[in-house]
Amino acid sequence: MPTVEISKKDLEKLVGKKFSKQELEEYLLVVKGEIELIEGDNIKIDIKDINRPDLWSTTGIARELRGELGKERGLPDFKVKSSQYKVIVDDNLKGIRPLTVCAVLKNLKLDDAGIKQLIDLQEKLSENFGRQRKEAALGIYDADKIAWPIYYKAADPDKTKFIPLEMDKEITLRQILGKHEKGRKYGHLLQGKKKYPIFIDAKKKILSMPPIINSNESGKITEKTKNAFIEVSGFSFRFIVPCLLVMVAELAERGAKIESVSVHYKNKKITMPDYKPGKIEVDVDYCNKVLGMKLNAHEIKRLLEKRRHDAQVNHNRIQVKYPAYRQDILHERDIIEDIAISYGYNKIKPVIPRLATFGKQSKESEMQEKVASLLVGLDMQEVATFNLTNKDEQFKKMNLKEMPVVEIKNPVSNLYSLLREWITPSLLAFLEKNKKARYPQKIFEIGTCVKVKEKGKEKHAEDITRVAIAITHKNANYTEARQILDYLLRNLGFKYKIQECEHPSFIAGRVARVFVRLHGKEKDIAYIGEIHPKVLKAFGLNMPVSVFELNLSELLVLA
């Protein structure tokens, strides 16, 4: 969780109120903040919301507190003056770092506390929200040292030179990756690229090499800086736009004037910053059902305005406009959460449900517990991997053709873009990360997979519980996996038979399907075999691996 270090005096100045320690602790609940440490004027606050980068600074917290205290209501008013500032984007940046959004801030009024907050927020946006600068990296420059227009282009890393921040001589872009601290830390983001991205002005002065480092000449902000140029680069507007809006708001709250910058791509132009609010509708009855309360529409409107939303009552529905930087709002329930925060969680009276039921362990849980106990008894280690994975791991590395899966819309990372269909690839990925561990390695996982099923023109997803085991050492083979399978099924009370089959992920002649029969019902419930060398190579594994994967949900039906 992000930790924000602030000056109490700075916060009180921005809010327009002095706080006792107890008052501050209570008010920080509206930003999901807890005080970790107080040392004189410095306060360290743990923010429990990783999806609200607008709260990761003193100004963001102050903005929310002014709404809570009634000093301001509704949407914050950020006025953006239209300007002629222009950034021209090179089409050759596709596949390198293709996108940027920018803004100019005039008449900066930064003191020591403001500079510290600016640097801290820049770091948090790039590291936390920007996924260690991969998805978003933010640069701030002294605009008075820049000649317009600015060009964002792809440059030859061996022929292009500039003086990076905190150095005193020119070096090439490639040398920066080896010689500069930030280059060594973030150089992997440009690994394998033939050209590197740079911002360069009309006088051919290089401003920065994103996402690595700014230039020593224009890439520094001090208390003497009066005008600033801000850029955010990355691969998706979903990441870079919120970063820009949050950073611009930070400076605007401290008195700076916002001016727009138009970014020209090959086939489009984008002008930023744009604080046009998002819109969503809230049903009063649904809100009360979720919260277990009896609020009327006008009470909800008032609570929403405290959370810096605009709200318009329309009979039993409320039209809500929310701030442009609130990228975390995806559903009506996100607004309802804000209503609950405004009302105060501590004011909501808990009610014991009137249910005449008795809690007990489900049959599925009992089976999972027994399976885990049996496998642990065979000296196997249980592991837990993510349900979210990617097509490369589920199909390509496993030597399989792609099949219908449940994919995530707008995933945060391509590494976690779908719900897994089977566990075996996850175990192989686990072994890949533990190649230097002691052998033999015998692991298993009991987890949920999601199967897409089609019925006519309709598709639906079904959760399936599976158990998979993987054994790897220099002599790992089919027989060893078969012995574990035999022990497991016999102890669970199932008779089974093996039928040889073909599967692209396994070695031909060393793979089979497992069929279980009980009460006259027979079902194929598992694959067992030795992993194909092509798959082992894809995962970087040097030892043979034998596995089986069993459908526990099917076993439960047969039991």
pLDDT, residue 556, reads 83
Question: Given pLDDT bands bounded at 50, 70 and 90, which one contains residue 559?
Answer: low
Secondary structure of 307-334 in HEC code, one letter for each residue: CCCEEEEECCEEEEEECCCCCCCCCHHH
Question: What pLDDT, on a 0 to 100 scale, did the predictor assign at position 230?
Answer: 97
* Alpha carbon distances (Å) from 457 to 418, 451, 453, 454, 460: 22, 16, 11, 7, 10
Averaged over 407-411, what is the pLDDT?
82
Share of the chain above pLDDT 70, in %: 99
Say whether pLDDT at 346 is over 70: yes
Averaged pLDDT of the chain: 92
Closest CA to 205 of 267, 288, 264, 148: 148
205 pLDDT exceeds 90?
yes
| Partners of 462 in the β-ladder | 451
Confidence class for position 456, pLDDT limits 50, 70, 90: low
Read off φ and ψ for residue 376, nearest 5 degrees: -60, -35
Give the model's confidence band at 457: pLDDT under 50 very low, under 70 low, under 90 confident, else very high: low
Beta bridge pairs of residue 272: 261
For residue 251, what pLDDT is reported? Answer: 95
* Cβ count near 40 (within 10 Å): 7
For the entire predicted model, the pTM comes to: 0.71
Instruction: Note the pLDDT of residue 349.
Output: 85
Give the pLDDT of residue 316.
93
Domains and CATH numbers, the chain: 3-68 (3.30.56.10), 80-272 (3.50.40.10), 283-317+329-347 (3.30.56.10), 363-558 (3.30.930.10)
Stretch 338-342: mean pLDDT, rounded? 95
